[in-house]
Structures are given as C-alpha cells and as structure tokens.
Amino acid sequence: MLQFHYDPTTNPLNNDEWSFPLFECIHIAMFAMSIGTIAIVDFRLLGLAFRRESPAELLKATSLWTLIGLIVVITSGLVIWTTDPVAYYYNPAFRYKCIALVGAIIYNYTIHRKTILSNPSVFAGALVGGVSLLLWISIVFAGLFYAFI
C-alpha cells in the first residue's frame, strides 16, 4: 500500500468551488495549444494541410507555442493530481497517461524533430506524423477515461 503523509481534504482545490474547474479549463486550453501545434506539423507530414510550407518551417513556427503549452498543461495537471494523488496513482488510465505522456514528449523532441529537420520522404514523414498524432490523441482519451474506470 502506498503511504502518503498528506491529507487531500486540506487542499484548497477541494475546498473551493471555483479553483478545480478553473485548473481544468487551463489544462484543456493548454492541451489545445500544445497538441494543436503538434497536430499542425503532423497534418503537414501526413500531406493533409499547409503543403506550401515545409514541415521544418512549420516546426520552427510552432515549437515555442508547443513548449509553452506543454509546460502549462503539465503544471496544471500536477495541480489537479494533488486533489487526490493516491486514487489517481491506482487508476490504470492515469498510469497509461503518465507513461504515454513521457513517451510522447521524448518522441516529440527526438524522432519527430529529427525526422522533420532531415527533410523526410513522404512515407517516413507520414509514418512519424501519424504515430505522433495517435500518441497524443491516446493521451487525451486516457485523461477522460480515468473518470469512467
């Protein structure tokens, strides 16, 4: 059994009507920014949009916003997690989300980035973009599913 010397009932988020949904809204808006900017590059890699720009140009245009989004989405996520850390810890969807998030971030800043900057073939680009998109969407799904399992 995981031991915690922390009483979540003392957490301000559990004692204030507005703060919990406010952090949820920040979390959602910022995953729209981080995943949305990654999706712009992935759509290009898949050949679905922005074909006048190269994937590298789009990466350059969006990378700062992806980073800002990721920092805020993870920070707000951690704040939400403190409202009931033990229950989250034992939830399989939350565990998947954490592992997939670490994997997606590593993937985004290694394989994804290197492929884009190396002017990939259409097939390699589509593969890397498709995996990226699916990985990030699966994290959104996991975020919703831990309320249901």
- Written as one letter, the residue type at 62 is T
**Min. distance of Cβ 120 from other proteins in angstroms?**
20
For residues 25 and 99, which CB has a smaller minimum distance to other proteins in the complex?
Answer: 25
Q: Quote the least distance from Cβ 118 to other proteins, whole Å.
A: 20
CB of 112 to other proteins, least distance (A): 16
- For residue 149, the minimal CB distance to other proteins (Å) is 9
Exposure string over 5-42, b if 16+ CB within 10 A, otherwise e: eeeeeebebeeeeeebeebeebbeebbebbbebbbbbb
Q: Which is nearer to other proteins, 24 or 109 (CB)?
A: 24
Our CB check for other proteins shows the closer of 14 and 75 to be: 14
**Comparison of 56 and 127: residue with beta carbon closer to other proteins:** 56
Residues that bind other proteins in the complex, under the rule CB under 8 A:
8-9, 11, 14, 17, 20-21, 24-25, 28-29, 31-37, 39-40, 43, 48-53, 57-58, 60-62, 64-65, 83-84, 87-88, 91, 94, 133, 136-137, 140-141, 143-148
